[in-house]
Every structure is written in structure tokens, then in C-alpha cells.
Amino acid sequence: MNNQDEPIKGEHDNKKSENKSFLEQLKEEHHQILGTLQEVKKNGAHTMDGRNALTAAKDLMCMHFKKEDDILYPELKKSVKNNKHDKQIIKTFIEEMKKVTQFCDDFFQKYSISGGGIEFLRDFEKLYAMLETRLQKEETVLYPKYAPG
């Protein structure tokens, strides 16, 4: 049974450098996602550069979310079978991520052709704030549980 502050052991623990590399890769993707969204802010979604950045952000998010769904969450779920506290943390993160993903999907569907105006700015700021908060929580709460001990 894991102590609440101990990293969760997974089948990838034998490859300590791969684990660290995987987490570093996820963190780098966080920076890329937020940086690309900042480009949208800087250039404006009505410009070609802004539209290109918005498309790039969507692609980065889809790839990142899939990687977490396919690798990170299954490994964490396997590792927390006997720890109720960690099991609840993982469950909460997965449930919250579904909401974040749904908002992202709705946002990109709504603004796939054009972005601009007050409604876009409001939705974009909400998207940015939601992602920034979520990514920070992943790095400070979730990822340390996956890190090798």
C-alpha cells in the first residue's frame, strides 16, 4: 500500500529514465500548448498567424490528451488498486479531464471556421484559464505520483 506522498509504482519503473523522459515530454507539451495559445492571443484569431496557431494548439492538445489517456491514466489506475486516497485522486483527475476535453472539443467545433468578437474572446480566455489550471495541477499533483521513487 502506498503512502499518500509516495510515487505510484508502475510497470515502467524498471526504466527510470524512460519514466522521467515521458513526464518531461508531457511537461514540454504543456509548455507548447500554452505557448501556442499565447501566440493566438498575440496575433489575434482573425489573422492567418492566429488561425494557424489555433489549429496547431488544437492538434497539440489532441495528441497530448490521447497520450495521457492511452499511457498515463491506465498505468496510474493499475498502480492504485490498494490505495483508496490515490485511487480517488486519479478518478477525480479523469473525470475533470473529460470536462476539459469536452470544452476544448466544443470550442474548436464552434470556432473551426472563424474566431473573433467578444464571444470568442470570452470563450478563448475560459479555455486558456481552464487549461493553464489543469496543466499546473497535473504537474504538481498527478505527475509526482507517476514519477519513479
Higher-confidence residue of 90 and 4: namely: 90
Side chain identity at residue 29, one-letter code: E
List of residues 6+ apart from 79 with CB closer than 8 A: 2, 8, 9, 10, 86
Domain count, the chain: 1
For residue 9, tell me if it sits in a domain.
no
- pLDDT for the residue numbered 10: 46
Q: What is the pLDDT of residues 33-60, one digit of tens each?
A: 999 999 999 998 888 999 899 999 999 9
For residue 137, tell me if it sits in a domain.
yes
Q: Please give the model's pTM, rounded to 2 decimal places.
A: 0.81
For residue 5, tell me if it sits in a domain.
no
* Domain extent at residue 36: 14-142
Question: Do the Cβ atoms of 80 and 146 come closer than 8 Å?
Answer: no
pLDDT of 124 > 80? The answer is: yes
Can you tell me which residue has the cell 510497470?
Answer: 11
For residue 57, tell me if it sits in a domain.
yes
For residue 102, tell me if it sits in a domain.
yes
The DSSP call for residue 112 is S
